[in-house]
Structure 1
């Protein structure tokens, strides 16, 4: 059996915190983010963008960037909204959500832009 790694994520160290899907991997490239948006859209999920300050990351509240993009299938429009949120809030973490109408829950949630940590 392989040994389990401790990622040393601590509340006292905001730079060490792990969050959402893919947080243990390096930051995604633009092309990788585009593929994730394409996946959400192909599943029929409604994309949404949220953001929060790095120091409040462990709180359960994230700010919604506009309303969810109900029925949106244009990947470039979804990416444009995520980038607009990141540009308006450059120090915040920005995440992409895929809302599943049928299970009435989040099908996916991932941080696509990481804010600055102190």
Structure 2
């Protein structure tokens, strides 16, 4: 069996925490993030932006940035809202969510900006 990598993560070190699959990959560049938003739009999912303090990131509740963008298909507008949230809350983690109306659940969610550890 091959050696498995241990991802050092702890509650006391907020910058070490992993959130979902994308957290184990290198940070997405702008082109990669744009592709993720394009995918959300192509699936017909409703995008939303959420944020929270790094020390509360493991909690289930994140603050919603405005309302979900029901029916929004403009990728630049969605990216603009995510950037505006990050600018307004630079110390917070910012998450992009794609809500699937058909399945009545989240189709995807990913942390796209990491806040400064306090």
Alpha carbon RMSD of aligned pairs, Å? 1.0
* Matched-pair contact (CA < 8 Å) for 1:27–1:113: no
In 2: Cα distance, 1:5 partner to 1:57 partner: 23
Structure 2 unpaired stretches of 5+: none
Shift of 1:80: 0.6
In 1: Cα distance, 2:26 partner to 2:46 partner: 26
Q: Provide, for residues 41-93 of structure 1, a one-character-per-residue CA deviation record: whole Å limited to 9, x for no partner.
A: 00110000000010111111100000000111110110010000000001110
Shift of 1:9: 1.1
Q: Provide, for residues 18-59 of structure 1, a one-character-per-residue CA deviation record: whole Å limited to 9, x for no partner.
A: 012300122211111111000000011000000001011111
The aligned length equals: 118
| TM-score, structure 1 normalization | 0.95
Structure 1 unpaired stretches of 5+: none
Shift of 1:103: 0.5
| TM-score, structure 2 normalization | 0.95
